[in-house]
Amino acid sequence: MKKLILFAFILWVSSGLTGCARNPVTGKRQVVLVSENQEIAMGRESDPQVREEYGVAENPPLQNYVDGMGRKLVRVSHRPNLAWHFTVVDSPVVNAFAIPGGYVYLTRGILAYLGNEAELAGVMSHEIGHVTARHSVRQITRQELAEIGLGVGSVLSPTFGQFGNLAESGAGVLFLRFSRDDEREADRLGVEYAARAAFDPRQVSNFFDLLGRLSAANDRQTIPGWLSTHPDPPQRVEATRMLAEHWISMLGLTEERMVVNREPFLKAIDGIVFGNNPREGFTEASRFYHPELQFQIDFPAKWRVDNTRAAVFAIEPERNAQLQLTVARVQPGTGAEDYIRGLAARGSTPQDVQSVRIHGYNAVLATYVTQAQGGAVAVRAGFIEYRNQIFQIIGITRDLRRYGGQIDETIRSFDNVTDERILRVQPDRLRIYTAEEGDTLVAIAKRLANPRVTADDLAVLNRAATEQPITAGRFLKIVEKGY
């Protein structure tokens, strides 16, 4: 799973500091470059960046529930004295990750697909295991870090990177690709910690069954690319089942002593946002709407639009041109002309500047040219004063003659939203439904009439067949249509 750590807090590696420490899990001594105090500091400084990048799910009862689960698990871990932190982040992707120092994150997406507390315990214990075994620290020591680009286009143009929030906040984030051995060790620790905390460790393998199902469906909107570096789900299912039986025998656990807790878990996730949240932006045809920020913009037809918390991207099908929309970080009262003068002071001097009005709002258009590998790159930028902020729309291409018109049309399409249907849009939500006599998932999906969730989707959520009769009174996950 994705493991994040801020680049700014590993610069000390170049200082040549080395040390020898005993691994908390294996007990073996190993050469590492990071002391425990440094590890904790890295996590403490990185946590605000992670929270900003992903957002935190606004659900205090759920946050408290997950935190309480984490507390039970870390008490039986190899590092119970760390100041642990557990956070549900606002992402639809099925994912969980940890950063050094005791910071563990679960997406609302992964919570939607889990089936009970024992499965949750296994996922959380896996991430706790990455921290207790100091996998991030070992990766830093091995110097196996791979830097992530600042966003589409910024790799091509240093000038482009001057503009967006990604260059100022999320740009410093690196992803650690753990080895399969690290992942297997985290799996082993996940089963061990779940068992020691009296959760049924056999449930851990159920989630790997689900990962295999999602992977087979190739649902890239739901499951991230980390499966490519993890052991294959079928192998993990077999391995974790064997480990579960080992720990049940080792600890003398009985059926009565092992916790599964399906219904309490389902009640805890009842009402969480499911899938993408349209309040944070969505696309209809080629028009992108943002209900919270109350703007709309038309991207070129057939360009792929990607929406993140920090920016909206649009990419030409052949990747010959790219657009990025962000909100500039400026002092209150800063105008568009003041802003580009500030950029010029930082080395981004435009070739031409034009003051215009776009749908009644003050704006400045500017063109920049910079040299990058392969030749000149043109940047066409629009800075629009809107709702006491500066919205910046940046287009980058090597062929301004061909794509400049489309970039300009996009910039000039920026406008406020007045359609109440857009302004009041609400997300889909996961709901817990009590099955009635004769229910099937096909019949339930038909009644829900949610175009984004099919009977097959409900089958994955509930680990059931679409036509399988459902026992009356059984709790099921359904998805209530929001828009």
103-107 and 85-89 beta bridge pairing? parallel
Same domain, 213 and 300: no
Same domain, 175 and 107: yes
Sign of CA dihedral 22, 28, 29, 30: negative
| Side chain identity, residue 407 | I
Global pTM? 0.81
Sign of CA dihedral 285, 288, 289, 290: positive
Same domain, 254 and 285: no
Sign of CA dihedral 455, 109, 216, 477: negative
Among 390, 405, 423, the domain-final residue is: 423
Same domain, 294 and 384: yes
Same domain, 161 and 220: yes
Give CA–CA dist 325/307, Å, rounded. 10
Among 378, 407, 423, the domain-final residue is: 423
CA distance readout (Å), 226 to 56, 96, 200, 229, 369: 22, 10, 26, 6, 37
Among 269, 297, 328, the domain-final residue is: 269
Overall number of domains in the chain: 3
Give CA–CA dist 199/112, Å, rounded. 19
pLDDT tens across the length of the chain (483 residues):
334 333 333 333 333 344 556 666 765 565 455 678 888 888 899 999 899 888 999 999 999 999 999 999 999 999 999 999 999 999 998 999 998 899 999 999 999 999 999 999 999 999 999 999 887 766 665 543 333 233 333 333 344 444 544 333 332 333 345 778 888 999 999 999 999 999 999 999 988 888 777 776 655 455 544 444 455 667 888 999 999 999 999 999 999 999 999 999 999 999 999 999 999 999 999 999 999 999 999 999 999 999 988 899 999 999 999 999 999 988 888 999 999 988 888 888 888 899 999 999 999 999 998 877 777 889 999 999 999 999 999 999 999 999 999 999 999 999 999 999 999 999 999 999 999 999 999 999 999 999 999 999 999 999 999 988 999 999 999 999 998
Same domain, 298 and 376: yes
Domain residues for the domain of 363 are 278-423
Same domain, 236 and 349: no
Same domain, 210 and 292: no
